[in-house]
């Protein structure tokens, strides 16, 4: 009986962990997108997209290391996706 | 500091002459005056008949003059960014803002920013003066300078909001996965986030300008026009654009008065004074006399 209860407890905690994992994955994905978007907007004047005054991007540049990394990773993946898509539609 | 005067108008209408005129008059009255030109094409020294100089000089008693070199301000700003960037990413040896100076300098928005940067210095360093007189560049650039703090304020507000949301999400993730999940470089709270702090610093700068530009008690905008259709039309455009920013023209100065020109008063130009055409060489005494006449009934010095 005691073993059964422990197993049920374990099972429930695994469930809870699974839910936690699923919910946090969504937030993490949202976080990555927001960081990527933020960096794109802030630095867009330096990359040619319509944007806030360029000095905002320049002033924040020293502190945007992690976001720049995310942006670069994202753009790398984006390239791959485009390539995949082009391949798919036989371009 | 008592008051700030901005002389606005189309190129060549006599903004510099009239700003020198007012500055000489006030300094003669015993007030300490700082006269600055933020127009990239300076001519204060010509009007004051002094040899061109760099930096600040007391040209006559109680009158300090500076023809602001915007390149110096931009270089100073970029050096500051470069130093901070090196501190953060020491491995970025190839990152060279100096080489990009000419491109950055000509990037839309940077010249206006350099003007604001210079204005901040002028207003902070010369707060001991009784009056600050600013000779501005021609219309387009001046309107962009005056509008920049308001546009930037909106951007900074939105970016700060966005950044705050990022920090909230990071905290959610850290709460579940533990703080170790994030790299040491990643800030989780407001105080540690250098990006948010920099946005707040910039916001304070812009609030400083907005407060000064909108201060109806102590900041005065004087529009200079000539007796010709073009400068009057441009004057109306300035007046209209400034109204959009909630800035009112205090006084319109119709410079180089001509008997043949009929000036129509309307809502935009309700308060104006006429100034006669001065013949070269213009003496300082003559400039002082002119200012004593047009300031009468408008300002109490």
What per-residue confidence (pLDDT) applies to B257? 80
Transcribe B200-213 into DSSP letters. Answer: HHHHHHHHHHHHHH
**B162 contacts on A by Cβ (under 8 Å):** 34, 37-38, 41
**B113 contacts on A by Cβ (under 8 Å):** 53-55
Interchain contact, A38 vs B156, CB within 8 Å: no
Tell whether the model's pLDDT for residue A48 goes beyond 70. no
Integer CA distances (angstroms), B252 to B39, B94, B169, in order: 20, 52, 54
Query: Which residue is listed with tokens 């002389």?
Result: B7
C-alpha dihedral, B78 to B84 to B87 to B89, nearest 10°: -70
* CA separation for the pair B15, B225 (Å, rounded): 9
Please tell me which residue of chain B has the smallest CA distance to A32.
Answer: B166
pLDDT in tens, B59-102: 999 999 999 998 888 888 888 887 887 777 665 555 566 677 77
C-alpha B258: how far from chain center: 31
Interchain contact, B113 vs A31, CB within 8 Å: no
Q: Chain A interface, mutation test: which of B146, B182, B198, most A Cβ atoms within 10 Å? A: B198
Strands B131-135, B56-60: pairing kind: unpaired
Say whether residue B172 is in contact with chain A using an 8 A CB cutoff.
yes
Size of chain B, expressed as the number of residues it contains? 301
Q: Answer for the pair B288, B28: CB distance below 8 angstroms, yes or no.
A: yes
List A residues 18-77 in contact with B (Cβ-Cβ < 8 A): 20, 24, 27-28, 30-31, 34-35, 37-38, 41-42, 45, 52-56, 58-67
DSSP state of A61: G
Tell whether the model's pLDDT for residue B263 goes beyond 70. no
**B160 contacts on A by Cβ (under 8 Å):** none
Which three-class secondary structure state does DSSP give residue B57?
strand
Compute the nearest-CA separation of B191 from chain A (Å): 14
Domain ranges of chain A: 2-88
Q: What is the CATH number of domain B3-146+213-294?
A: 3.40.50.300
Nearest to B114 by CA among A55, A77, A70, A1: A55
Give me the residues paired with residue B257 across strands: B276
Neighbours of B203 (CB within 10 A): 17
Size of chain A, expressed as the number of residues it contains? 91
- Average pLDDT of the residues in A19-40: 86
Tell whether the model's pLDDT for residue A91 goes beyond 60. no
- Whether the pTM exceeds 0.90: the reply is no
Query: Which residue is listed with tokens 């940077």?
Result: B110
Interchain contact, B110 vs A61, CB within 8 Å: no
Tell whether the model's pLDDT for residue A25 goes beyond 60. yes
What per-residue confidence (pLDDT) applies to B85? 77
DSSP state of B271: S
Cβ neighbours for B94, distance < 8 A, ≥ 6 positions apart: none
- Please, what is the average pLDDT of chain B? 89
Strands B131-135, B3-9: pairing kind: parallel
């Amino acid at each position: 009986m005691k073993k059964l209860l422990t197993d049920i407890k374990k099972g429930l905690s695994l469930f809870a962990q699974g839910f936690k994992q699923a919910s946090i994955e969504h937030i993490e994905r949202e976080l990555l997108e927001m960081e990527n978007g933020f960096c794109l907007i802030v630095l867009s004047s330096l990359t040619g997209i319509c944007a806030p005054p360029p000095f905002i991007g320049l002033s924040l540049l020293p502190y945007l290391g992690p976001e720049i990394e995310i942006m670069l990773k994202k753009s790398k993946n984006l390239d791959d996706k485009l390539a995949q898509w082009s391949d798919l539609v036989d371009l | 500091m008592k008051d700030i005067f901005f002389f606005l108008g189309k190129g060549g209408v006599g903004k510099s002459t009239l700003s020198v005129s007012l500055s000489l008059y006030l300094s003669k009255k015993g007030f300490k005056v700082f006269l600055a030109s933020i127009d990239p094409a300076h001519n204060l020294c010509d009007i004051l008949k002094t040899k061109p100089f760099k930096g600040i000089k007391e040209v006559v008693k109680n009158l300090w003059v500076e023809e602001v070199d915007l390149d110096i301000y931009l270089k100073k700003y970029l050096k500051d960014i470069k130093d901070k960037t090196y501190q953060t990413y020491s491995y970025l040896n190839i990152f060279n803002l100096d080489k990009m100076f000419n491109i950055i300098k000509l990037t839309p928005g940077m010249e206006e920013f350099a003007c604001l940067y210079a204005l901040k210095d002028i207003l902070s360093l010369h707060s001991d003066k009784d009056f600050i007189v600013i000779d501005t560049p021609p219309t387009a650039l001046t309107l962009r300078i005056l509008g920049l703090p308001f546009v930037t304020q909106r951007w900074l507000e939105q970016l700060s909001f966005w950044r705050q949301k990022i920090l909230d999400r990071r905290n959610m993730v850290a709460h579940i996965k533990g703080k170790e999940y994030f790299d040491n470089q990643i800030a989780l709270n407001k105080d540690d986030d250098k990006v948010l702090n920099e946005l707040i610093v910039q916001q304070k700068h812009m609030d400083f300008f907005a407060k000064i530009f909108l201060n109806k008690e102590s900041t005065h905008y004087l529009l200079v026009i000539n007796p010709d259709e073009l400068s009057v039309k441009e004057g109306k455009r300035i007046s209209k654009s400034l109204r959009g920013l909630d800035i009112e023209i205090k006084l319109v100065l119709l410079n180089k008065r001509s008997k043949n020109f009929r000036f129509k008063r309307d809502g935009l130009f309700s308060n104006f004074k006429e100034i006669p055409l001065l013949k070269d060489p213009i003496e300082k005494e003559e400039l002082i006399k002119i200012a004593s006449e047009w300031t009468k009934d408008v300002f109490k010095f």
